[in-house]
Structure 1
Amino acid sequence: MRAVSATESSPRPRLECRATPPEIAEAMRTARESSGLTQHQLAGRIGSTQSTVARWETGEHEVTMTTVSRVAEALGVELLVRFGGGVGTK
C-alpha cells in the first residue's frame, strides 16, 4: 500500500493497498504525514487513541479494511484496493 498523488481522473490523493501488513502500516504512516496530521489528531478523527494509531503504523497491530477505509476518509484520500498482481498471479 502506498500514498499516491491526485490524478486527472481522481481529484483526491489515494491510499493504494496491495496489502501485506508492513506495506499497509507504511502507507498509513506516509499518508498521515503527507496530510500534516499527528497520530493524536488522526486518532481523534476516527475515534481511536494515539497509541493504537502508533501500533498500526509500526505493524504491531494489524488493521481491518474497515479501519483502513476510515483512516483514508479521515485523511481525505481515496482508498484503492487491488487484488492480484503478486507472484504467480495475473
Structure 2
Amino acid sequence: MPELLAPLGVAGMVLTLDALHTTKKTARLITETLNAHYLLLLKGNQLLARAAARLLLKGPDSEFTQTTALEDDRGHARIERRTIRA
C-alpha cells in the first residue's frame, strides 16, 4: 500500500479502500504518513473491528439522524445492507 499511495500526493484527500485494507497499519499510514483521511469498510467477518466500531458509534439513532445513510441492494445472489454512521 505505501508504494502505491506515496507517489500520488494524497495529502488532504479522503481515501476509500475495501475491507481487505481495513487495518490499523493502513489507517496509520493514511493519517500519519500521507496526511490524508480515510473511509474504510467493515464486513461481517471482521468481528473485533466491528465490535470496536459499534462501541464508538453506539447510541440512539436520534443522535445520528444527520449522519446516517442506509442502503439495501441485491447482487451476487444475496441481499446486502450498507449502513454509514458518522
Q: Please confirm whether the aligned pair reaches a TM-score higher than 0.5, indicating the same fold.
A: no
Say which one has the larger Rg.
2
Superposition TM-score, scaled by structure 1 size: 0.28
Q: Which has the higher contact order (CA 8 A, sep 6+)?
A: 1
Structure in which a larger fraction of residues adopt strand: 2
Superposition TM-score, scaled by structure 2 size: 0.29
